[in-house]
């Protein structure tokens, strides 16, 4: 059965009109789903009995099953959810001064193969539907409703490559952003990509107000190809050209994500190359402490060296932030909770 959360407002309008209901019924339904966050059609008291019956017969509704919830000392909440086909995914909520940001997963596993990332330990099984991404948002929001917290920001930075699941991600964001629903502002929404160039161009042409973050992580092709296989398909020259195109069409600031790996991408040579790469853009560089992953040999740059890297960039005119670590005491690295859980499940099955 199709998930009701797969349908954006426009699709709900068509659904209503095609089946002999009224256009305003779509508004009512949308508000029930995302403002009141009602999880049973039966309780949607201002919908006709016929519409409620029609919906219940044809669409599924309801929150995701929470397999695990870890709450960190700093307030980070990390959820392991189960999807209807039994797959498990991670969603994280992080608290900042400016609000509460949800990190949404876009695929079950990931095929991009970045060598430092725990998500890639489990290969892509499938794309998430728009509704499954909406469900992450709704389930987390329902969980924190009682704490009086509202999700104010979305980053599509969980497991998966959002531009490898482009249409579903865009539908999800339209639903999250819609005025009649949760109304999360487009400027509070960020999509992060490892650099799928054709999709960056497509995104550029859509002229949304969403923020675009690029997982750069290395300022030259030799190193970037080593860290991120996607760079072999779309090397830095092509990536930068696509970003120039994006900036021409959109008057938006870009951000570059740069995890700091000791003795790998934190050298003075990297500083100079990064200065050259960023010069041509209105860009913010987010320096990110690396969350240790057991399965690979990378080590995070220590705090003092990270500060030095930051200062060198700043003194050469690159705007950047050194992000603080979140959820240090829980399995906060992307895909870590899930890969441990799935690993445990495999062992259980073997025993
Ligand atoms: N595929 C998309 C979005 C998911 S990854 C992308 O590549 O942008 C989200 C971000 O987390 C990326 O910048 C990724 O490189 C980074 N990341 C992956 N593993 C990490 C780790 N162990 N520590 C810190 N950041 C990590």
Question: Ligand 1 centroid to 133 CA: how many Å?
Answer: 18
User: Closest Cα partner for 314 from 341, 278, 267, 261?
Assistant: 278
Phi, psi of 180 (to 5 degrees): -80, -10
Tell me which residue has tokens 């041509």. 280
Range 45-49, long-range pairs (CB < 8 A, 24+ positions): 48/21
State which fold the 2-60 domain adopts: DNA polymerase; domain 1 (1.10.150)
Q: Which pLDDT score, from 0 to 100, does residue 62 have?
A: 94
Instruction: Give me the CATH topology for the region 65-350.
Output: TIM Barrel (3.20.20)
Ligand 1 atom nearest to 156, measured from its CA? 3
Tokens 């699709």 correspond to what residue? Answer: 11
CA atoms within 13 A on the CB side of 349: 6
Identify the residue whose C-alpha is closest to ligand 1 atom 1.
161
- For the Cβ of 239 lying below 6 angstroms from any atom of ligand 1, the answer is no
Contact indicator for 190, 241 with CB cutoff of 8 Å: no
Ligand 1 contact, 193 CB (< 6 A)? yes
C-beta 318 within 6 A of ligand 1: no
Nearest atom, ligand 1, residue 257 CA:
13
| 45 C-alpha to ligand 1 centroid (Å) | 43
The conformation of residue 262, written as its DSSP 8-state character, comes to T
Distance, in Å, from the CA atom of 288 to the CA atom of 332, rounded to the nearest integer, reads 13
Residue corresponding to tokens 């980070």: 76
Read off the pLDDT of residues 294-336 as tens digits, 9 standing for 90 and up: 777 899 999 999 999 999 999 999 999 998 766 767 765 656 6
Q: Is 203 exposed, middle or buried (0-12, 13-18, 19+ CB in 10 A)?
A: buried
Query: Residue 295's pLDDT is what?
Result: 74
Sign of the dihedral defined by the CA atoms of residues 6, 12, 14, 16, in that order? positive
Q: Which atom of ligand 1 is nearest to the CA of 214?
A: 8
Closest Cα partner for 87 from 148, 187, 160? 160
Residue identified by tokens 């389930």 is: 139
- Tell me the C-alpha distance between 265 and 283, whole Å: 19
pTM above 0.85, yes or no: yes
Q: Pairing relation of β-strands 99-103 and 88-96?
A: antiparallel
What phi and psi, each to the nearest 5 degrees, are found at residue 249? -85, -25
The neighbouring-strand residues paired with 215 are 257
pLDDT, tens digit (0-9, with 9 covering 90-100), for 124-136 = 999 999 999 999 9
Is 215 within 8 Å of 193 (Cβ atoms)? yes
The residue ranges of the chain whose pLDDT is under 70 are: 120, 325-326, 328, 331-337, 339-351
Ligand 1 pocket: which of 90, 127, 157 to mutate (most atoms <8 Å of CB)?
157
Distance (Å, rounded) from C-alpha 152 to C-alpha 149?
9
Atom of ligand 1 nearest to the CA of 300: 23
pLDDT at 339: 66
Pocket test for ligand 1, best of 110, 213, 259 (most atoms within 8 A of CB): 259
* Distance in angstroms (rounded) separating the CA atoms of residues 249 and 51: 43
Domain ranges (residues) in the chain: 2-60, 65-350
Same fold across 2-60 and 65-350: no
Q: Is 271 in contact with 312 (CB distance < 8 Å)?
A: yes
| C-alpha–C-alpha distance, residues 249 and 243, integer Å | 10
* Ligand 1: centre distance to CA 250 (Å): 24
Buried b (16+ CB within 10 A) or exposed e, 264-281: bbbeeebbebbbebbeeb
Catalytic residues: 90, 334
Q: Which of 291, 325, 334, 332 is nearest to 107 (CA)?
A: 334
């Amino acid at each position: 059965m199709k998930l009701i959360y797969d349908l954006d407002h426009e699709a709900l309008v068509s659904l209503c009109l095609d089946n002999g209901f009224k256009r305003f019924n779509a508004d009512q339904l949308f508000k029930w789903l995302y403002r009141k966050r009602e999880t049973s059609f039966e309780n949607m008291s201002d919908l006709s009995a016929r519409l409620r019956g029609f919906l219940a017969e044809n669409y599924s509704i309801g929150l995701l099953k929470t397999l695990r919830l870890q709450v960190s000392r700093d307030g980070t909440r990390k959820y392991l959810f189960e999807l209807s086909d039994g797959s498990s995914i991670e969603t994280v909520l992080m608290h900042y001064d400016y609000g509460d940001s949800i990190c949404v997963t876009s695929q079950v596993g990931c095929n991009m193969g970045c060598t430092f990332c725990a998500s890639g330990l489990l290969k892509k099984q499938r794309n998430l539907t728009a509704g499954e991404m909406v469900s992450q948002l709704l389930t987390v929001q329902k969980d924190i409703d009682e704490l009086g917290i509202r999700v104010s920001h979305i980053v599509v930075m969980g497991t998966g490559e959002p531009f490898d699941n482009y249409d579903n991600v865009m539908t999800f964001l339209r639903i999250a952003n819609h005025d009649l629903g949760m109304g999360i502002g487009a400027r509070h929404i960020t999509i992060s990509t490892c650099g799928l160039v054709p999709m960056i161009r497509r995104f550029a042409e859509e002229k949304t107000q969403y923020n675009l973050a690029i997982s750069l992580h290395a300022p030259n092709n030799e190193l970037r190809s080593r860290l991120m296989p996607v760079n072999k398909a779309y090397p830095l020259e092509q990536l930068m050209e696509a970003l120039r195109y994006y900036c021409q069409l959109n008057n938006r600031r870009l951000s570059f994500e740069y995890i700091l790996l000791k003795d790998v991408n934190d050298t003075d040579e990297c500083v100079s190359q990064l200065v050259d790469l960023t010069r041509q853009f209105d860009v913010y560089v987010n320096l990110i402490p690396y969350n240790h992953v057991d399965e690979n040999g990378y080590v995070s740059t220590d705090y003092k060296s990270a500060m030095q890297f930051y200062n060198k960039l700043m003194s050469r005119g690159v705007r950047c932030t050194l992000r603080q670590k979140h959820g240090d005491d829980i399995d906060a690295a992307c895909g870590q909770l899930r890969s441990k859980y799935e690993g445990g499940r495999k062992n259980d099955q073997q025993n």
